[in-house]
Amino acid sequence: MGIKRLEGDFSPVEIRGYTSKSIQTYSDYAVIAINESHKVIAVGKAAYQYVDAIESVDMGEISVYSTFKRNVVAEFFETVTVVKLIFKNILPGIIYKIFKPTVAVCIPFELTGVEIKAFQDVFYAAGARKVNIFKLEFEDIKRELAKNYSIVIGIIPNKL
């Protein structure tokens, strides 16, 4: 028993969220911790506590991993869980439950058609009403896009 990380690329992708009504940008990592019965026990920065957990504490088998590989969606359902958390932290609870947000996603690198579809599907599954993908730097355009979208999301690639 103990902590384990799944093999492969563990460099987490940062996901930032912004609305025109927010004072600051919300940021978290696309990382998830799952126990041996496949229950999500932590998402984002909170999942890191399990990477550094003391081995002598018996918490059962816990897997901690990035939901992205090479900066694209690799674990669909787990990435949806991360995006839902970000939506809930950006939008007030009642608004998130009643109104489906329109989302602009800024991704500053080239994607194939399949990769674009995967990103769109993640945000729709997380509760978005409309999703548009932009090949733009998040920090450069977030305020401009927030005029037309409920949420602006930035995918900040890890250093490969």
Q: For all residues of the chain together, what is the average pLDDT?
A: 83
For 39-51, write each residue's pLDDT tens digit.
888 888 888 777 7
Identify whether the C-beta of residue 83 lies closer than 8 Å to the C-beta of residue 120.
no
Return the top range by mean pLDDT from 33-37, 51-55, 122-126.
122-126
Residue 86 in this model has a pLDDT that exceeds 70? yes
* SS3 sequence of 14-70: EEEEECCCCCCCEEEECEEEEECCCCEEEEHHHHHHHHCCCCCCCCCCEEEEECEEC
Q: Give mean pLDDT, residues 112-127.
A: 95
pLDDT reported for residue 114: 95
Q: 149 in a domain, yes or no?
A: yes
Q: 140 in a domain, yes or no?
A: yes
Q: How far apart are alpha carbons 104 and 123 in whole angstroms?
A: 10
Edge-to-edge order in the sheet of strand 3-5? 3-5, 62-66, 31-35, 40-43
pLDDT reported for residue 96: 67
Q: CB atoms < 10 A from the CB of 37, how many?
A: 8
Q: 1 in a domain, yes or no?
A: no
Number of domains within the chain: 1
pLDDT reported for residue 135: 94
Q: State the pTM of this model.
A: 0.83
% pLDDT > 70, the chain: 83
Q: CB atoms < 10 A from the CB of 92, how many?
A: 9
CATH code, domain carrying 52:
3.30.420.40
More confident residue, 127 or 63: 127
Q: 2 in a domain, yes or no?
A: no
Identify whether the C-beta of residue 134 lies closer than 8 Å to the C-beta of residue 141.
yes
Identify whether the C-beta of residue 151 lies closer than 8 Å to the C-beta of residue 87.
yes
% pLDDT > 90, the chain: 35
Range of the domain at 115: 8-156
Q: How far apart are alpha carbons 2 and 95 in whole angstroms?
A: 39
Residue 8 in this model has a pLDDT that exceeds 80? no
More confident residue, 27 or 24: 27
User: What length is written for the chain?
Assistant: 160
More confident residue, 24 or 8: 24
For 11-26, write each residue's pLDDT tens digit.
778 899 998 887 778 9
Q: 95 in a domain, yes or no?
A: yes
Q: 62 in a domain, yes or no?
A: yes
